[in-house]
Chains A and B, each alone.
Chain A
Amino acid sequence: MTIKEISDGIKKKKFSSLEITKTYLDKEDKFDAFITRTRELALSQANNPAKTSLISNIPFAAKDNILVKGIKNTCGSKSLKDYIAPYNATCIEKIDGILLGKTNLDEFAMGSSTESSFFFTTKNPHDSERVAGGSSGGSAAAVAADLAPYALASDTGGSIRLPASFCGVVGFKPTYGAVSRFGLAAFASSLDQIGSLTKTVEDAETVFEVISGKDKKDSTSRDIKDTSKKKRFKVGLPKEYFTSELDYEIRKIIEKAINGLDAEKTSLPNTKYALPAYYIISTAEASANLARYDGIKYGLKTEGDNYLTSYLKTRAESFGKEVKRRIMLGTFSLSSGYYDAYYHKAQQAREEIKKDFEKVFSQFDFIITPTSPSVAFKIGEKKDPISMYLSDIFTVSVNLAGLPAISIPVGDINNLPVGLQIIGKPFQEKNLFSLAKIIEKDVKYFSSHS
């Protein structure tokens, strides 16, 4: 069910918050979406729902890198398999809702399929031999299989939008700074953003209304004065996303979905540099952020003979291969002799990518692209790291430029969903939701699949 349907149902006394929560708690998790289900907590919250937010009486799920006080927070990693969060993330405080559980993710949100999770791989509800996407695959599968009305997640390079596209749900990544990141386990701090997975655009808007705004615990957060309320939109279609290599079926579905909009071709010439720039910057930031996992203050600890060997052994034991690979790549690009050629150059390219978007946004209100170059791939299909990294090719630019973007389902290929990405101007989420609703209404994906 959607947030709207549950909210209306409770208002009309068709059912209570407790009844609906029990229904969700009793559902079987056939797709391994959850790492932890928080039955006891949910029942105690639903028995006496708070009234602090619009959605306090609605059950929800949260990605297992968003801290909830007193609940295990693993980040999909062996290092934190027994870690109990000592405080709440700001978004959890603001929602003050009914938590159904914590969802699976790639270890420390590093991946595009949940296959790097220490625990298990989440299966795609549309085809259980395929991935749900990543890193927020657990959140996307939970919403797609209706194990939760909505789920919170984080997006560093596409981690909300890619699984939304693969699972046929709405994935929304707000403007960088629109939602506080306090209480989100850091991966790459200049790119990380908390957002949502929902069934409808309206629900995404509702969640955003509740969780957005300035928080003194995150110095990059902002209050939004969004006065955007246009009725007609001019849409740019960047040729770098619609190349001859794009899957023909995906292209057809996207073109059909935007038929009727005022759309024109445009260009973001530095797109080809986005993927290397993203992987250099995000791994560099990750190498610094993950230095905290030393086994001393918290997390897994393996003793060695002395201080240094304890540290080396603890981290060898704590992290899976993808996390090790990224910490080492990041360390490499920040190391003496390579800093200028890799990290510094990537930061400069990031500025050029931002300028590309500014230029296009001086002529267009929105940019529309496919969310992913493919539909959900098979579990185990992508064996080398580069082919996995290429899954993010259409989503990383948005994080580099700090823009808001939403992925909405617009069709299927052999029952596997296809997502359309709308990229908007910074802090103009209202317009973004308006256009997304127009396309959603036109395509009728959700109403025909529920």
Chain B
Amino acid sequence: MISKKEVNYIADLSRIKITPKETEKFQKEFSDILSHFDLLKKAKTNEKTNLNSRKAELRPDEVDRFSGDLLKLASIREGRYIKVKKIL
């Protein structure tokens, strides 16, 4: 059983504010879902399996003009800048 403290910690890591009622609901649901996932522990898997075998194929970065349409999508702007609250 996952604890309420853990649910709130995960919500915080996920950057989602949840209400005490949601904490309770997610606690129950996550416990059910995770116990269903526990079946996976029985899977016979190979520790040596290389999980990073895919090579990244990246194109070179290219300088391009961006359209003003992109900036228009931001909710708070100042001139050509996107404005955010103070971080520090």
Q: Which residues of A contact B (CB under 8 A)?
A: 83-84, 86, 216, 219, 270, 272-273, 276-277, 279-280, 287, 291, 294-299, 301, 304, 306-307, 309-313, 315-316, 319, 324-325, 327-329, 331-332, 335, 341-342, 344-349, 351-352, 384-386, 389
* Chain A hits for B85, CB < 8 A: 304, 306-307, 310
Instruction: Determine if B40 and A296 form an interchain contact, defined as CB atoms under 8 angstroms apart.
Output: no
Interface residue total, chain B, C-beta cutoff 8 A: 44
Known contacts: A328-B10, A331-B13, A348-B45. The answer to whether A280 contacts B59 by CB under 8 A is no
The answer, yes or no, to whether B1 is at the interface (CB within 8 Å) is no
Residue of A nearest to B18 (CB): A316
Distance in angstroms from B73 CB to nearest chain A CB is 4
Does the CB pair B43–A386 fall under 8 Å? no
Q: B33 contacts the other chain (Cβ, under 8 Å)?
A: yes
Q: Is the CB of A345 within 8 A of B40?
A: yes
Q: List 16 A-B contacts (CB under 8 A).
A: A270-B43, A296-B74, A296-B84, A298-B73, A307-B86, A316-B17, A328-B11, A328-B26, A331-B10, A335-B13, A344-B51, A345-B41, A352-B43, A385-B33, A386-B32, A386-B33
Expressed in whole angstroms, the Cα–Cα distance for A83 and B10 within the complex equals: 28
Question: B45-88, CB under 8 A of A: which get 1 and which 0?
Answer: 11101010000111100000001011001111000001011110
Is the beta-carbon distance between A280 and B40 smaller than 8 angstroms? yes
Secondary structure of the B side of the interface? loop
B10 and A219 form a contact (CB under 8 A): no
Residue from B7, B29, B46, B87 having most chain A Cβ neighbours under 10 A: B29
Main secondary structure of the interface of A (DSSP, over half): helix
Given contact pairs A270-B43, A328-B11, A348-B43, a sample of 16 additional A-B residue pairs in the complex whose CB atoms are under 8 Å apart: A86-B67, A216-B59, A277-B43, A291-B15, A297-B73, A301-B75, A304-B85, A307-B85, A307-B86, A312-B15, A313-B17, A327-B14, A345-B40, A348-B46, A349-B40, A351-B51
A273 touching B39, Cβ below 8 Å:
yes
Q: Which of B16-31 touch A at CB < 8 Å?
A: 16-18, 22, 26, 29-30
Chain A residue numbers with a CB within 8 Å of B30 are 328-329, 332
Instruction: Report the Cα distance A312→B16, complex, angstroms.
Output: 5
Which residues from chain B sit less than 8 Å from chain A, CB to CB?
7, 10-11, 13-18, 22, 26, 29-30, 32-34, 36-37, 39-41, 43-47, 49, 51, 56-59, 67, 69-70, 73-76, 82, 84-87
Q: How far is the CB of A69 from chain B (nearest CB, A)?
A: 9
Is A324 touching B84 in the complex (CB atoms < 8 A)?
Answer: no
CA distance A301 to B26 in the complex (A): 24
A324-B16, A329-B30, A331-B13 as given contacts; A386 in contact with B69, CB under 8 Å: no
Q: Is there contact, CB below 8 Å, between B43 and A273?
A: yes
Expressed in whole angstroms, the minimum distance between the Cβ of B50 and any Cβ of chain A is: 9
Do residues B17 and A341 form an inter-chain contact, with CB atoms below 8 A? no
**Pairwise interchain contact B43-A315, C-beta atoms closer than 8 A:** no
